[in-house]
Chain A
């Protein structure tokens, strides 16, 4: 029983990271109708930048600065270069431009920080023992941070005027413009959120894994899988899909075999594609014309 709780916490923590990535993918899709294939690079940059900053300031400050810098970078330079000039083209152009930026950023990171995997400082290390169950503190932090972030995001989208403006932009850009919404600002805000979610995922996941140049790409692929499982374009779907993938991975690793960790994602994906082709929260797909 105790070990079951332990596995569940483990899986939910891992799933939270996938959920954050999936959420970022969906938020960008809803506003801009394209994908950002450099999403994984926000994870990578936040992890490396914060690790470097920890040499000169306390860990919490280093993280805060890293997340703030990456989120601002996403909202300004990144979005202006990779998305804005192509906003009137079809969505494949943005895919290719973000792929180009992703290659650029990843290889610049390789030059700056080196290609060798290295450990991330364990800022919140240790284990809690509650009634015979040992729970890794970092996992609890991941759950709390993800939950808090998603709640804040929800409140912002649903309860504030700017949130309503963002939803309006996602629904119909032209009508939103006519209502006085400045679309360029909404796009900047969207990328701000995407970069924020990505960089928070980066600093949360870094202590569990080593820092590697490919960590962004690997996390992003899982994020895509989560959006498909949860239902394409759906925000609750992204969260549920991410958590589900994390749980499946954790339980299958514990009870079947740890060798095929990535294959469990695939079995889940296959089952979802066969039985629920539109995902768990999938709506009827109606393309915007």
Chain B
């Protein structure tokens, strides 16, 4: 029963996502749905690093870039199929995560945020300038349609089922991390590093591990992106896009997996919904982000908590207080 209840909302969401392609007729909307899933995976990765462990990583897109280029190169130059390219991309992204994490995490704190900005810029410039390997400013082209066995995924609709499968796996992984001993250790580190150490948690090890796990999510997202576009453009992996992933986590509700999923979907589709504002839509998008951070610091998911606690308060006793407090 407990299992049922904790997974009920995920199941409802999954059913909705399975039904959606049947009613969507525009390839552009299908493309956006695929992009939303990629952003959800990225945001889930950032949620492990930042939401759970409390380390601000402003280079999410650098890791997805590493994933995209690795899988793209494996597919174009070695002719590997999607599943092998995916594994390669995840491994390489994790190696980069380890390489960046080991020296920088020891320094820690706000400095880490600065270091990740630097790392993101460095990777962007490598993508753009290492022409023999990455294709330079022209990008990496010639990626074939993703195929699994005899199945070739040519349309955004068929590709969507691949994205959705990976999304389900990644949401499951994120949930397992969260409820495991590992996740509790991550959250202890976020709460207070000194206290976590006093409880016998090796904080350095856990922080590096969180960083590497976060990088793995980036590798998955990057591979999905490379095979969706079938072209990797160095201009994609910018600081601004990394900041967008952070915004998704904050707007959805830091630390909450359903919240992060909602945040990523919301911020992918919000600009489209605001198109009726014509020239003003990006400005209003910025204003919307500001308003959510100011007036809903717990993210969109905290609305749900508020509704639920009010409902519970009405049913039981008037003394019950709202549980959605400020962190």
Q: Give me the interface of A with B, judged by CB distance under 8 Å.
A: 29, 33, 35, 37, 81-82, 85-86, 89-93, 95-97, 99-108, 110-111, 217, 221, 224-225, 227-228, 232, 260, 262-263, 265-266, 269-270, 273, 277-278, 285, 287
Contacts and interface: CB of A to CB of B under 8 A. Distances in A.
Interface residues of A, dominant DSSP: helix
Given A107-B283, A232-B114, A96 B289 contact: yes
Nearest to A81: B290
Interface in B77-134: 103-104, 107-111, 113-115, 117-118, 121-122, 125-126, 129
Given A82-B290, A232-B114, A285-B111, 11 more contacts: A93-B297, A95-B243, A96-B250, A97-B290, A103-B283, A108-B283, A217-B240, A263-B125, A269-B118, A287-B108, A287-B109
B221 to A, nearest CB: 20
Contacts of A37: 243
11 contacts: A90-B327, A92-B250, A103-B285, A104-B283, A104-B284, A104-B287, A221-B239, A266-B126, A269-B121, A285-B111, A287-B109
A285 B290 contact: no
Contacts of A260: 129
A99 B247 contact: yes
B276 interface: no
Contacts of B282: 103, 107, 110
A20 B290 CA distance: 26
Contact of A104 (B111, B121, B240, B286): B286
Nearest to B50: A92
A287 B243 contact: no
Contacts of B254: 92
Interface size class of B (residues with CB under 8 A): 35 or more
Interface in B245-274: 246-247, 250-251, 254
Nearest to B284: A104
Contacts, number: 119
B283 A93 contact: no
Nearest to B295: A85
A184 B282 CA distance: 31
Given A91-B110, A96-B289, A262 B125 contact: yes
B293 interface: yes
B213 interface: no
A285 B126 CA distance: 29
Contacts of B291: 100
A99 B243 contact: yes
